[in-house]
Structure formats: structure tokens, C-alpha cells
A and B are shown apart, each in its own frame.
Chain A
Amino acid sequence: MTPAIGSSPWRYAIGARHYDMLADGVNVALEQLGKAVALNPERSCLSGRHPNTGVEPLPGPRVDTDCVESMILTIEVSQ
């Protein structure tokens, strides 16, 4: 498994055993986050897929700012 946090400075600072445990933990968390986003693309703006237009997702988890903006409500009142 590829370490998700830095490399040698971290390893020296916290020791090889703790470093490997921490790296595994971070990787598992990232994996779970990726799965959650992939399973629920319409539920968050992390997928890069716009919930209204269904535009193709961007590679990797990232925040779609158009998506976030479309979710902040501004009300129009019709007279």
C-alpha cells in the first residue's frame, strides 16, 4: 500500500511502526471516502458531477464549485 502521508521525515519523526499504521489508516479512510463519493455522486459536490446536469465527473474526488453554488438557496418571490 502506498503511504498517503509524506515519506522519510515522517518515518523518522514518529518511528517506522507508527508511520506504517498511520499510513494504512489514512489510506483506508481515503478509500472509504472515494467509495462513498462514487456510490452517491448526486449526494455530494465532491464527485465533480453536477447533480442537475449530470455532466461527466472530473478525475478524482474534488469539489465542484458550480455544484456547491447551485445548492445555496436564494429565493425569488413571485407577486
Chain B
Amino acid sequence: MKQTIARWLLRAAGWSLEGARPAHARYVLIAAPHTSNWDFPLMLLYAAAFDIKVRWMGKHSLFAWPVGWLMRRLGGMPIVRHRAGNLVAAMVAAFEQADQLVLVVPTEGTRDRTDYWKSGFYHIARQAKVPIVPSFLDFSRKRGGFGAGLSTTGSVVADMQYFRDFYAGMAGKFPANSGPIRLREEAGE
């Protein structure tokens, strides 16, 4: 039912679905390019349209009354940063304990232009030994969907090249806000 409604809403807004539902049960899902407030609701609609239950990390204060229940229903996982200590280790543990977990990460961290992606998604996937699946919202073609998952190889540059190739030619709502696809640590390799 939710899947049908999501597909109908996307079609009504002129968006098409591309690619297939990722076959993995546990993976880190990249949400990019992120340049607009529309990205988050659209991403949730796409996840519903492909029948994927996504989870995302949010500051615990976002889950307080009166909107907390809604955030949880939308897949939010409340994180108390000062208690969590090593957040990467906490998420790796969450993957190890779960039979199914799709953790969506807006890798740019902000809809403004950034020079680097934040690297947490990569380290969570590598340490949890789960693939990284790229998802996209291409506003230039009004298409969205998922790519093939990548199992990290240990070479950050090679792995990031896969994502650079995947997202080449795709545009967010505000293309000027899209920065380069790279991690700070690539410079060290």
C-alpha cells in the first residue's frame, strides 16, 4: 500500500524510477547529490517506492515531543553524541546485531557546497563489512533510484572513483551547490 502511494506520488510529481531494488539486506546507502530541502522527503518517497525501510542518524533532541514519533516513523535513530563515544563503532555494532539494516547517509552533510564528503559512511561500511549502495536524485532528468553496491577494497581512491563515475552527469536541484566527490583522506594515499 505504502509502495503504491509512494509510486503514485512520484509519478504525479513527474519523477521516474530507475534501477532495481538493492538485493542486499544490510548496507550503507549514500544519498547524493544533496543540494535542496526536497532531497530528504524525495529520498524517503523513493525508499518507500522501492519498498526499502531506511534508517538515518539524528541528534536525540530531534526525537523529543511533539515530533519525535514522526521522526521515528520516518526511520530516525536517535543518537546521543556525548554518550555514544565512537559513533562509527556504535553503528558497526548496530549492523552486526541486525538482520536487515539500510543506513542512509547524506554524505555531503549539508545542502550547501562542500569541498569534501564526510568519511563516516565509508568507515562504517568497511568496518561492518557491508556494501555501500549509491542512490541518486537527478533533477535534470527527474529520475531517481539506486546503483549497484560496492564492497570496499581498502583503496579509498579506487572506491571513491566508483562513486565519481556513478554520479558523473547527475545534477541536484541547485547544481551550483554540488561540490567535488572526494574524501579528505584520499590526499594521503
Contact = CB atoms under 8 A, between A and B. Distances in A.
Interface of A: 33, 36-37, 40, 42-46, 51, 65, 68-77, 79
Contact of B106 (A45, A72, A79): A72
- The 10 lowest CB-CB distance pairs between A and B, nearest first, are A75-B120, A74-B109, A73-B57, A71-B62, A43-B64, A76-B118, A71-B59, A74-B118, A65-B37, A77-B123
Contacts of A73: 57-59, 79, 81, 87
A69 B108 CA distance: 12
B4 to A, nearest CB: 27
Given A72-B57, A74-B105, 17 more contacts: A37-B66, A42-B61, A44-B61, A45-B62, A51-B61, A65-B37, A70-B59, A71-B59, A72-B62, A73-B57, A73-B79, A73-B87, A74-B107, A75-B105, A77-B88, A77-B119, A77-B120
A64 B105 CA distance: 20
A40 B66 CA distance: 10
A43 B105 CA distance: 23
B77 to A, nearest CB: 9
A44 to B, nearest CB: 5
Contacts of A40: 64
B119 A76 contact: yes
A71 to B, nearest CB: 4
Interface in B30-74: 37, 40, 56-59, 61-62, 64-67
Nearest to A79: B185
B188 interface: yes
B110 interface: yes
Nearest to A73: B57
Given A71-B59, A73-B57, A74-B107, A79 B188 contact: yes
B111 interface: yes
Contacts of A71: 58-59, 61-62
A46 B107 CA distance: 25
A37 B118 CA distance: 32
Best-surrounded residue of A69, A71, A72 (most CB of chain B within 10 A) = A72
A57 to B, nearest CB: 16
Contacts of A70: 59
A42 B108 CA distance: 25
